[in-house]
Amino acid sequence: MTTDSAPRSASRSPARRRLRLLLVFVLGLVPWSVQTFTTGSATLLFPWGLVGSATGSVTTITDFFLRFTMGLPDYILVWPVGVACYLVALGSALSGVLFGREDVRLTAAGLALAGVTQLEVARGFSVQPGRTAWPVGTVLLWAVAGFLYWSRANERDADGSSR
């Protein structure tokens, strides 16, 4: 029996860890929800804030919740919960790059849960008259979560390891 550690799973390679971090990081740069209005304007909801496409105005998530908190509907209150889930996933992927220790299940679960919260945000915006919300983030978060989880599972099966 050999104890050679060379045939380790590719997910343990630095290149794979950096790729996972890049995928998760990019999710923080794309809009998670796009609200379109019958007037033709749109608002982009990012994990870090809102951008009005017509005016280019930016409202950060901290301004939104610390300055404009009066009478917020319940569906918008899950936005920061989704951001927290995303930050858990980002922290897990970053840990993989910095320390070589990442639980891909945690990364994928954080992204999947963030996607669920953004589906609720989009649903809440869509029930308002004259507005439709597109849960772009939900689709992207779930796609990356699925890719990370299933690629890790396939690597584990190919490697024959249990981790």
Each residue's pLDDT, cut to its tens digit, for the chain (163 residues) gives 444 443 334 456 888 889 999 999 999 999 999 999 998 899 999 999 999 988 889 999 988 888 876 677 888 889 999 999 999 999 999 999 899 888 899 999 999 999 999 999 999 999 889 999 999 999 999 999 999 988 876 666 555 555 4
CATH number at residue 61: 1.20.140
| 10 domain residue, yes or no | no
The verdict on residue 4 lying in a domain is: no
CA torsion angle 82 83 84 86 (round to 10) = 90
Q: What's the CA gap between 140 and 54, in Å, rounded?
A: 24
Print the domain residue range for 128.
Answer: 21-154
Q: Are 34 and 140 in contact (CB under 8 A)?
A: no
Q: What is the pTM of this model?
A: 0.82
Q: Is residue 3 part of a domain?
A: no
> Based on the structure, what is the number of domains in the chain?
1
> Which stretches of the chain are DSSP H helices?
14-27, 61-67, 79-99, 104-126, 136-159
Q: How many CB atoms are located within 10 Å of the residue 4 CB?
A: 6
